[in-house]
Amino acid sequence: MAIFRKGIKIGGYDIRIGLPRDRSYDRIDKDPRLKRKTNPNTSLNRFRSFTEAAGGFAKPTKYILIMTLPRGASDQPGVAKDTKDAQNLDKLYGAQVAFHCSDLQFPGRTIETQPHRIHGPETNFASGLNFAEITAEFYCDKFMREKHYFETWQNLVIDKRTYELNYYDEYTAPIEIYQLSDFDEEMGSTLDNAHKEEIKNAVYGCKLVEAYPKTIAAQALSYDARNQVHKISITFEYRYWHNMVDIDEVEKADTFMTANTGVVTPDTKGMGPLGLFRYLPAELRRAGNEVFNQAKNRLPTGRVFGGKVFPPYF
């Protein structure tokens, strides 16, 4: 297209004049700049190559929550009724409540430290693990079933008639959170099958052990909120969580070593070298493991062979 063009008709002939555009880009394939090879070692190209090799990024919108109400108790008349209500509610609407989770978070984990100073700047030694609460939000259907669901769960914690506490294992239950990948897979025809198919597509998962709803947040009501839907915010308390990829099952007999760390390795199973502490009480197992771990670093053989007291075995 010309930059300027004008024409006039004289005696049946069109007389046109114009100012053509720059033709330097007509044969752009001849431009020598296009023959230059990109430098793969630049920060931008390395970032792109790493991202492509990794298959992209995980998206916080692709997740699934799986939870069930606890077993409750059946030996007390009032609590037994709450237990039956919870079982019926979980069977009918448990999957719906989980799917209506609109906001969720993977739990955090903090290493607690103990300061120690002999001379100069103090040293902070690891002393334990701290697992913070998590908060989730759920859409409420028109019958407010999600609110009923968590109120029923809290009724299993404290008897709403007598305000007496129930037993711990009667009101706690595991909660599983999965991060899904971007691979498309055909879902099942039912909610349970859909859960199973989506879990196969998970790339990360964690389990909250012995969880229960600590707080049911207040819900605001307003005439101005005409185009909004009700959401309920729940704060969950739990004992600890672990990565379900690293741990398939935590042995209850080794809760001190495995439950508090969330990692199971030959040195942290709580059984000692070659399982020598397997049949000892939990307190003796802890003491034995502490002595053995100190010996690996302090005895001459441990220092020489890199922490192996009796090389090459352990």
CATH of the domain at 106: 2.30.110
Q: Are residues 233 and 267 in the same domain?
A: no
Instruction: Report the alpha-carbon distance of residue 239 to residue 237 in Å, rounded.
Output: 7
Helix (H) or strand (E) run with residue 108 in it: none
Instruction: Report the alpha-carbon distance of residue 146 to residue 230 in Å, rounded.
Output: 10
Lowest mean pLDDT among 16-30, 89-103, 186-200: 186-200
Q: Are residues 226 and 267 in the same domain?
A: no
Residue 18 lies in a domain: no
Question: Two tokens at 175?
Answer: 């909660």
Asked if pLDDT for residue 107 goes beyond 70, the answer is yes
Tens of pLDDT along 246-258? Answer: 544 333 333 333 3
Q: Are residues 227 and 281 in the same domain?
A: no
Q: Are residues 241 and 259 in the same domain?
A: no
Question: Measured on CA atoms in the order 145, 147, 150, 153, is the torsion positive or negative?
Answer: negative
Number of structural domains (the chain) is 2
Provide the strand spans (E) within the chain.
4-10, 13-19, 63-67, 101-103, 109-116, 123-131, 134-139, 173-180, 202-216, 231-237, 240-243
What pLDDT score does 249 carry?
36
Residue 266 lies in a domain: yes
Question: Cα–chain-centroid distance for residue 188?
Answer: 23
Confidence at 54, pLDDT banded by 50, 70, 90: confident
What is the span of the domain harbouring residue 173?
63-245
Residue 43 lies in a domain: no
Tens of pLDDT along 64-99? Answer: 999 998 887 665 666 677 788 888 888 899 999 999
Q: Are residues 113 and 163 in the same domain?
A: yes
Residue 107 lies in a domain: yes
Q: Are residues 147 and 296 in the same domain?
A: no
Q: Are residues 198 and 263 in the same domain?
A: no
Q: Are residues 143 and 239 in the same domain?
A: yes
**pTM for this one?**
0.63
